[in-house]
Structure 1
Amino acid sequence: MFEDLDFPPYPSLRKPLAHAPALCAEDAALPQGRHEVRATEANLMQVMLEAQPQALFLLDAAGLILEVGGAWETLTGLKAEEARGRPLLEWLRYDRAHYPAALRRGQGVLEEAELLTRRAQHVVRVIWAERGPMIAGSLEPLKVSAQRTFDLSERLNHTERALDEAIHLLGVSQDAWQAEHIRRIVDFAQRLAGAAGLEPQDIRAVRWGAALHDIGKARVPQEILHKPGPLNALEYEVILQHPLWGVQVLAELPFLPAQTVDAVRHHHERWDGHGYPLGLREGAIPLVARIMAIVDVFDALTSVRPYKPAWPYQDAVEHLIRESGRQFDPELTQLFVCEVLGFSHLLPRFEAGQ
């Protein structure tokens, strides 16, 4: 796909491609060799594209990734199939006040943007240009000075502290139970994420997702949230909207990691596909949301609410085991029960499939 496009000015890309046909000129003189020559040229172009130091991308009019190439996987840590259909801006941080139309139309250069994915963090130069209904461009890694690295680290630390404080104040402003609920599930979630082997930046995203997972309930009337009896059909339909309302709220916070938004959107999905809002199942549910589903339910069961007493820990753990493989990711459930809660004596129940 990329070899048919006139990319923005990449001298290192154009120069080798311009000479590709010449490398096969001798064979091209033979009629019977024409098909082999075309295949050789195509293969050569593909090798050259993959050898580029830049990560190449092609976006549709909505900014969603159609195709990637060059050093994309090396630079971003994302496979092509993970990237297709997702917005490139999900992984880029830059001054949008100065570049309001970046990667949307026309052409231009972002001299310094932060590339943040689950597996990579770089400062990159972004070059893009409109090509009909599409946007073609590249990400080029930049060498960052020690001072710049320190500044970025300090800014990230400051942002983390400010966000943690804002989340704490948000919980306190709602009610005392909600504040304690947030405190507990943040602790459970980051411990489970650590037990699952997540990297520090991913654990940070899990922590924020745990703290913000129910932010959409701010739009749910209090009389529904705290109703002592069962909800009617209309009230239940209102409750079902809170994950999507939460995502709308987080749209105003573009610096949040994608995993944090995933936690808010998908924490009520079920392993068997019978959850909401999208009915995702098994591995299609983002990992952070699978973590949230377990810790949220466990804390809800073991807490006093207007409509129920607190369950004993043992009963709540047994509920998690029964729902393992139905409501919850079985591997994460076993990690939570055995590694986080310390109920390793129940391990035989997992092995027996109980």
Structure 2
Amino acid sequence: MWHSSPWPAGLALLGSALLVAGTLTGHPPLMTGAALMVALSVPTEVAVLRWAGLAAYPAAFVLSLLRPGAALGLADLLGALMVGAALGWLVLRRHLAAQGEAWQARVAVALQDGSRQLAEARDAGGMIRAALGILNTLQVAPHLAFIAYRHGTPFILEARGAYTALLNRPLNPGESAGRSVQTDHRVAEQALSLLRPEDGRYAHLTPVYGHGGTHLGALLISRATRSFDPEEQSAVDAFARLLGAQLGQWQAICDLRDANDLTLRALGAALEHRDDDTGGHTARVVALSVRLARHLGWGESQIQALRWGAYLHDLGKLAIPDGILHKAGPLNDQERQVIQTHAVRGHDMLQDLHFLPAETLDLVRYHHERWDGKGYPAGLCRLQIPESARLFSIVDVYDALTHARPYKPAWSRERALREIHSQAGQQFDPEYVNAFVHLVAERDEAQLVH
């Protein structure tokens, strides 16, 4: 305010001039009014100016006594003391109010920044780090910790200051096994006992709750000097609520994804009963596809889409007549055309499942496309074929080759790998073929070692 507006500075200068005039003339009311003007206009957040505003009246009163003929009576002394005390109280109140306003402004900015950073976080760990980072910039305490439970055992999952040495270290909550505020306090006592006494002399613990009152953990802060005042506790509690809301939302999303995954896995298992001769084909191609994707360095969201597509890749076979699907001999051209419709039919069946990502639908529709463009249903070639479909087609064919089908016996692993390798650049993406062959070779070597 002092820098943004000329009025406080102007009033302070005018008050100082009137205070000098009152001192020179020995006019107590003028001195009192001028001192009040100075006390109300100087910025109390600046220590030098705050003390100058507070000392202005006593200095003026003493100087006024140096005038020739000045006399000091008891009433004058009592009046001066009363004015000085009132001005001191006023400056102190203004200073405390300014501190409170500054703190509230810092908290508001921190909460705004915290909301943005929590929303940008990609996982629960990122949310916790963001929350502690904002609390750290707020300088509410030098030592911060987020405590959560893994299989009933409390751990410090994120920390600042002295708690960093306790990261991912199990803390003993006592004989009681559950998550509760009482347990949090015992865990906090355990954590504080592992610090230097001065680092944990004053502490504040705030439980973190998600949606529906689900207990997610606790924020523990501590410092060496003075206890936490209500305003500081309120700010930490606000951050705990903000963090709890974001973690709760993230947990709900994870639970939904897990439910979707279990549903699609169950659907994939049901397809096994429709196509009995494949005997575990879906479970095998899901596992091997995920391993190959991780080997290639794919991200988790892309791997999830791949896994869901692998569960559902043969969904369209539900629409294929048994006489064609379970035919023991070779298919004629008409039957082959019918069975080739399963890719598009499976894709169409999934259109109403809006939570499925595009990569999942692409895999179901295009996993029979070929690198050379001779596949179906669209005759895509090379990089026109979606990544998930290019990867999965290798695993799908490999599993079909190495397991018995009504029309052929199982091939050996070596023979199947030779066939896969020979089709690089024709049926399959050459880069993915190389990665797949290396992956299978590494797995074989690991099995030999064990």
Q: TM (normalized to structure 1)?
A: 0.54
Change (3 A) 1:201 1:343: closer
Q: Tell me, which stretches of 5 or more residues in structure 1 are unaligned? A: 1-74, 76-144, 346-354
Identity of aligned residues (%): 43
The separation in 2 between residues aligned to 1:278 and 1:159, in whole angstroms, is 33
Larger radius of gyration: 2
The separation in 1 between residues aligned to 2:245 and 2:436, in whole angstroms, is 39
Paired residue secondary structure (1:227)? coil
Contact 2:267 2:311 in 1 (8 A): no
Contact 1:188 1:340 in 2 (8 A): no
1:285 aligns to 2:355 (yes or no): no
Q: Count how many residue pairs are aligned between Structure 1 and Structure 2.
A: 203
1:230 aligns to 2:330 (yes or no): yes
Look up the match of 1:193: 293
Contact 1:195 1:340 in 2 (8 A): no
The separation in 1 between residues aligned to 2:253 and 2:333, in whole angstroms, is 44
The separation in 2 between residues aligned to 1:185 and 1:341, in whole angstroms, is 17
Pairing partner for 2:369 from 251, 269, 277: 269
**How far is the alpha carbon of 1:226 from its aligned partner?**
1.1
Look up the match of 1:325: 425
**How far is the alpha carbon of 1:179 from its aligned partner?**
5.8
Look up the match of 1:295: 395
Q: How does 1:92-241 map to 2 (within 5 A)?
A: 146-174=243-271, 175=273, 176-178=276-278, 180-241=280-341
**How far is the alpha carbon of 1:284 from its aligned partner?**
1.0
The separation in 2 between residues aligned to 1:304 and 1:149, in whole angstroms, is 50
Asked which structure has the greater RCO (Cα within 8 Å, sep 6+), the reply is 1
Change (3 A) 1:160 1:341: farther
Change (3 A) 1:319 1:253: same
1:258 aligns to 2:358 (yes or no): yes
Equivalent position amino acid for 1:199 in 2? G
**How far is the alpha carbon of 1:341 from its aligned partner?**
4.2
Q: TM (normalized to structure 2)?
A: 0.43
Change (3 A) 1:343 1:146: closer
Paired residue secondary structure (2:294)? helix
Contact 1:338 1:344 in 2 (8 A): no
The separation in 2 between residues aligned to 1:153 and 1:312, in whole angstroms, is 45
**How far is the alpha carbon of 1:259 from its aligned partner?**
0.5
Change (3 A) 1:202 1:321: same
Larger proportion of helix: 2
Equivalent position amino acid for 1:336 in 2? F
Change (3 A) 1:218 1:148: farther
Contact 2:285 2:399 in 1 (8 A): yes
What are the superposed Cα offsets for residues 42-76 of structure 1, whole Å, 9 maximum, x if unpaired?
xxxxxxxxxxxxxxxxxxxxxxxxxxxxxxxxx9x
The separation in 1 between residues aligned to 2:355 and 2:391, in whole angstroms, is 22
Equivalent position amino acid for 1:281 in 2? C
**How far is the alpha carbon of 1:340 from its aligned partner?**
3.9
Moved beyond 6 Å, runs of 4+? none
